Structure 1
Amino acid sequence: MNTYLKIIDNVNNWVKVLVSFLLVILAVLVVLQVTTRFVINVPLSWTEELAKYLMIYIVFLGSGLAMRHNQHIAIDFLFEIVHAANKRRLQKIVLWISGVFSLLLAYYGAHLTYIVIGQSTPTLQYSMAWAYAAIPLGSVLMLCNVIAVLLSPDQDDPEETAGEIL
């Protein structure tokens, strides 16, 4: 169990570095796009397309990271009305539902990625499967982090982690 948690935390650290790097590239691409479009008046069409795909990867990989620290947007109404003794049970139910959702999203995302292998992106002419691969990758990362939170012996109180930053 501790080995799994260490592996997931190590993977998460690498994913944080990757997402940070993708975010820097995204910022540079957006500045380049705005500069070429409005200053030079010769827009680069590939920067907009690449920025869109980078944003997709940042969102899906970042959602997996957020799951490890209970930082997803949540409706905490139930946590406020449930007795303290039942909060842990409710948290586990929410995690199980999230895990099932992640598993289904990974399965159908992989299926969708397989379907679009023959299609090309409009400008860059790469396979659309590269863009759609963010769905199963992010979902598997999210599922692995759900499992890590379920196995984690010192789970945080959902109210205490609200608003904390990775």
Structure 2
Amino acid sequence: MNTYVKIMDNINQWVKYLVSFLLVVLAILVVLQVTTRFVINIPLSWTEELAKYLMIYIVFLGSGLAMRHNQHIAIDFLWEIVNAKNKQRLQKIVLWISAIFCLVLSYYGAHLTYIVIGQTTPTLQYSMAFAYAAIPLGSFFMLCNIVAALLSPNNDDTDEMAGELR
């Protein structure tokens, strides 16, 4: 179990680099799009489409990273009223519900990706499956990180981790 957590933390490190790189590429594409549209007055249509798909992948991959460190947006009403003894139980219940949701999302996302294989993107003419593949990949990555969070021995430091960037 401890080996799985270490493997997931190593994968998360690589995904963090990938998401950072994609964010830089996204910023460059947006600046290029604005410059060509409003300064040169000859817009590049492919930059907008590629930026949209990069944003989708950044969100889905980043969600897995956020799930590992309990940094998702949450309604913490129950968290505030539950005593310290039951906070860890509540956290595990939330993680299990999230795991079931990610499993279902991964299944139906893969099915949806399969359905759109024959469709192409408007400008780049790539298969829409590349865009839709972010759903099953990202939800499976979130599921793997939920399992790592459930197996992690230091799962009781969620108070300190909330809102903290690593």
What is the Cα deviation at residue 99 of structure 1? 0.3
- What letter matches 1:14 in structure 2? W
Q: Give me the TM-score of the superposition, normalised by structure 2.
A: 0.98
The runs of 4+ residues in structure 1 deviating greater than 3 Å are: none
* Whole-angstrom distance in 2 between the partners of 1:17 and 1:70: 19
* Whole-angstrom distance in 2 between the partners of 1:83 and 1:131: 43
CA-based RMSD: 0.8
- What letter matches 2:13 in structure 1? N
**Superimposed CA distance per residue, residues 14-67 of structure 1 (whole angstroms, 9 cap, x where no aligned partner):** 101110110010000000000000000000000000000000000000000000
* Whole-angstrom distance in 2 between the partners of 1:69 and 1:123: 37
User: Is 1:106 aligned to residue 106 of structure 2?
Assistant: yes
* Whole-angstrom distance in 2 between the partners of 1:128 and 1:156: 41
* Whole-angstrom distance in 2 between the partners of 1:156 and 1:67: 15
Number of corresponding residues: 166
Counterpart of 2:22 in structure 1 is 22
User: Is 1:135 aligned to residue 135 of structure 2?
Assistant: yes
**Superimposed CA distance per residue, residues 74-124 of structure 1 (whole angstroms, 9 cap, x where no aligned partner):** 111101011111111000000000000010010000000000000000000
Q: For the Cα contact (< 8 Å) 2:53–2:131, is it kept in 1? A: yes
Counterpart of 1:55 in structure 2 is 55
Give structure 2 stretches of 5+ with no counterpart.
none
| Identity among equivalent pairs (%) | 81
Q: Give me the TM-score of the superposition, normalised by structure 1.
A: 0.98
* Whole-angstrom distance in 1 between the partners of 2:7 and 2:57: 21
- 3-state SS, counterpart of residue 100 of structure 1: helix
Counterpart of 1:125 in structure 2 is 125
* Whole-angstrom distance in 2 between the partners of 1:67 and 1:161: 11
